[in-house]
Amino acid sequence: MHKILTVTGYKPFEINIMNPNDPKIKFIKSALRKNLISHIENGLEWVLLSGQMGVELWTCEVISELQETYDIKLGIIPPFDNQDARWPEVYQEAYQQAILEADFFQLLYEDDYKGPYQFKRRDKWLIEKSQACLVLVDEENQGSVKFFLDEAKKHSDYSIYYITPFDLEDAVQEWLENNPEVQNSD
């Protein structure tokens, strides 16, 4: 049983999501929801993340929905101030909304971006403060998630849970089963 879980994964462009209304996001959020509910029902109390665009911001939206039913808290710990400064506006808005809804928010460095060491420190901090992580990643194509995973794997007592492409396919199949009218419309 883990009380504190870090969640991370791809940025949108790493999985070819260029539009914030891409239907793939619905399936990613579905897989996140399913995994998080399982952890919550086994004692999870806190989800920690850095608030980067993509999987982490989608997790914030899922947590917000889950908080209507479950007692789960969200902590956002960005590596530096203004991490969203160069993001597309839609992601900046989602980030600002997530910060407003978070149960805890704290900058790791009280300054703007200075160097890659801030990302390394973020990964170490998140791993030190949680007992496990949930990572949306394809082991064959890890993208920027690789750096977090490499650090997490250094800790033998740290549990790593994965959401894989197979889990996303399951989410699509489950959705199709619950929406049979979609399959029959050509």
Dihedral in degrees, nearest 10, Cα atoms 73, 108, 106, 76: -30
pLDDT band (50, 70, 90) for residue 183: low
Tally of domains in the chain = 1
Task: Residue 51: give its domain's CATH number.
Answer: 3.40.50.450
For 110-132, the pLDDT digits (tens) are 999 999 999 999 999 999 999 99
Burial class of 102 by CB neighbour count within 10 A (0 to 12, 13 to 18, 19+): buried
**Which residue has 């089963």 as its token pair?**
177
The parent domain of residue 82 ranges over 4-183
* Contact between 152 and 177 (Cβ < 8 Å): no
pLDDT at 161: 97
Burial class of 179 by CB neighbour count within 10 A (0 to 12, 13 to 18, 19+): exposed
List all residues 6 or more positions away from 120 whose beta carbon is below 8 Å from its beta carbon.
147, 151
**Which residue has 């990964």 as its token pair?**
123
pLDDT at 181: 80
For 88-103, the pLDDT digits (tens) are 999 999 999 999 999 9
What does the pLDDT average to over 143-151? 96
Average pLDDT, the chain: 95
For 18-42, the pLDDT digits (tens) are 999 999 999 999 999 999 999 999 9
Residue 184 in this model has a pLDDT that exceeds 60: no
Q: Rounded to a whole number, what is the largest CA-CA distance in the chain?
A: 54
Burial class of 35 by CB neighbour count within 10 A (0 to 12, 13 to 18, 19+): buried
pLDDT band (50, 70, 90) for residue 139: confident
Residue 56 in this model has a pLDDT that exceeds 80: yes
pLDDT band (50, 70, 90) for residue 180: confident
